[in-house]
Amino acid sequence: MITIKNVLTPNSTLCDVDISSKKRALEIIADIMHEASGKLIPERKIFDALVERERLGSTAIGSGVAIPHARITGLKEPIAVFIRIDNAISYDADDNQPVDLIFCLLVPEKANSAYLNILAQLADGFRRSNFLKRLRSASTNEELYDILVKTKHKPIKTSDQHHH
């Protein structure tokens, strides 16, 4: 199973980035993604793909979190970026909450369901207020990265809590 650790690197995890708009956030993410792809994919191509995806509907999932994502031709492996924004920005979220946590995932054009699995794990984690609290209180990039890759996300089940 592909996990967050397979796609996110410490270099692509940034805390307290000063960003004033959604467009600027996507530009900065495209820039980091360009580096993360080994300079394989041009910033412009990444930015355009992310903007195109936002046009279909905001990738904000509520509670100040957005998960922009796109398929990119020429990308070999999925790559991710996580940024925590200093002052939350407007992101056209359904709950009208400004966004301060952005996890962006790029996947190869022919990517299969493995990548949807990562998005599902994330969305699940980002629905937990204690996980969000930890992300918002981390004081360094390293701490932020550790929280993201070390937290185990399991689907919430109401029954079947006992161990076999």
Specify whether 162 is catalytic: no
Beta-strand relationship, 99-108 and 65-66: parallel
Which distant-in-sequence residues (6+ apart) come within 8 Å of 145 by Cβ?
8, 10, 13, 82
Which is catalytic among the residues 34, 69, 162, 164? 69
Q: Which of 83, 23, 28 is nearest to 54 (CA)?
A: 23
Q: Which residue has the tokens 């004033």?
A: 20
Query: Catalytic amino acids?
Result: 69
